[in-house]
Amino acid sequence: MMNRRIMRLAGPSILANITVPLVGMVDVAIAGRLGDAACIGAIAIATMLFDLLYWNFGFLRVGTGGLTAQAYGRRDFREAVKILVQAVGTALLSAAVIWAIQYPFVKISFLIIDTSEEVRHMASLYFYIRIWAAPATLSLFALKGWFIGMQNTITPMISDIIVNLSNVLYCLYFAIYLKMGIAGIALGTLAAQYTGLIVTLTILYIYYGKLFKHINIRKSFKLNAVKVFFAISGNLFIRSLCFLCVYAGFTGIAAKYGDTLLAVSTIMMKLMLLYSYFIDGFAYAGEALSGRYIGNKDSKNLKRAIHIIFVWCISIGVVSTAGYVISGDALIRLMTNNGEVIQAARAFLPWLLIVPMAGCIGFTWDGIYIGATASVPLRNVMILSAIIFFASYLIFNKTIGIQALWLGYTLHLVIRSVLMTAMAKKEVLGKVL
């Protein structure tokens, strides 16, 4: 019974997530065939710039999901609708702020990021086109979190598949068929985001339109109504900022080692994250179910759900490691046909064998903690793990060079896994005991 419930939630998310790395790989693959390694580097830098913006608003998904799941567990649909209004309203306001700061943001970013003029030019072009998708992108964050909280992972699956597959088609059309180059990749992503938003809003209206009677925008944004939402969101914002510092720092530091090693690091990160998209499916199930069972004070089912979810996630970590052992080199060749990049990437393959087991436990706890709205420990653990990442690089880069980046990244995953496991009895189970 519990296993079937978990799979009904995790399965659609996994199917959707499978398309996510495919999109990233297609973007990189298209860029890799537009010219030299600088094209791949430009995609990496531009993506990092969007991460600098969008990851700060990750609370729109995770905060919304946890609060909605607990409201669902209490069968309080008036509260669930209020959370939806707060989340989407915050998303649209945030998009307006992003539009307002886009030009100084890019200028300041390239004062900090040390890269070639060619990469800088292409990355800026990509950014200034794709930025107009901000309202759609952030609204989709909020809507995805709400659907997951409502124990519905089918709709996020449909939305993600629509966005990701249309992105591939649009990018191929604009970049290759119309020969628009890197601008075509950006335009394709822009069009895909709005396509996904239209589809998602349509589904929302069809299946949840009866709940719209509870919408009261004025009451939803009164101080007392938003206090809990923004208290949790503030902690998750700091957590997202730390995430961002790690991933942006990774790419920014890699850029200092030249276009080839930047391209290698970009490809390796894409490959390394492949396993996490399977883990995330079960993390989403953990988020939905932990919130639900905490909401209705069901400690027995909460413990059962956590146990089964971890069995699945550790199994995925083991299988992923085996997959990288067998096909690591072939995956690199799939991503690029640049001989210099392929040769340089082989020295980094051992990290693909370590990362899945180092990260799968932490990724799983992320979802469960989010469902429990345990935002303070999530914040604190991520702050510490980000410090570990940068400290490790600073200590070891003089002896092992760019490999120190991967050492630091692996250590930050290990720290998250260990600390969240140690605190789970208090921060998760303690909510129902």
Distance CA 53, CA 99 (A): 11
Whole-number Cα distances in Å, 337 to 36, 121, 211, 333, 340: 10, 23, 52, 6, 9
Maximum alpha-carbon separation in the chain: 63
Distance CA 318, CA 340 (A): 31
Q: Which residue range is the domain that position 142 belongs to?
A: 2-431
% of residues, the chain, pLDDT over 70: 95
Q: What is the pLDDT of residues 126-137, one digit of tens each?
A: 999 999 999 999
Residue found by looking up tokens 């260990």 in the block: 418
Distance CA 26, CA 34 (A): 12
Is residue 38's pLDDT more than 80? Answer: no
Q: What is the pLDDT of residues 335-371, one digit of tens each?
A: 777 777 788 877 888 887 888 888 899 999 999 999 9
**What is the dihedral sign for C-alpha 262, 266, 271, 274?**
positive
Distance CA 364, CA 307 (A): 11
Name the least confident of 100-109, 115-124, 258-267, 313-322: 258-267
Whole-number Cα distances in Å, 157 to 92, 132, 138, 179: 22, 24, 17, 31
Nearest to 251 by CA among 243, 242, 262, 267: 262
Average pLDDT, the chain: 86
Q: What is the pLDDT of residues 368-427, one digit of tens each?
A: 999 998 999 999 999 999 999 999 999 998 898 888 988 999 999 999 999 999 999 999
DSSP 222: S
Q: What is the pTM of this model?
A: 0.82
Is residue 268's pLDDT more than 70? Answer: yes
Q: What pLDDT, on a 0 to 100 scale, did the predictor assign at position 24? A: 58
Q: What pLDDT, on a 0 to 100 scale, did the predictor assign at position 36? A: 59
Whole-number Cα distances in Å, 158 to 140, 161, 375: 12, 5, 28
Q: What is the pLDDT of residues 65-83, one digit of tens each?
A: 999 999 999 998 999 999 9
Average pLDDT over residues 10-21: 75
Q: What is the pLDDT of residues 171-210, one digit of tens each?
A: 889 988 888 888 898 999 899 999 999 999 999 999 998 9
Name the least confident of 7-11, 167-171, 309-313, 336-340: 336-340
Q: What pLDDT, on a 0 to 100 scale, did the predictor assign at position 376? A: 94
Task: Give how many domains the chain has, as a whole number.
Answer: 1
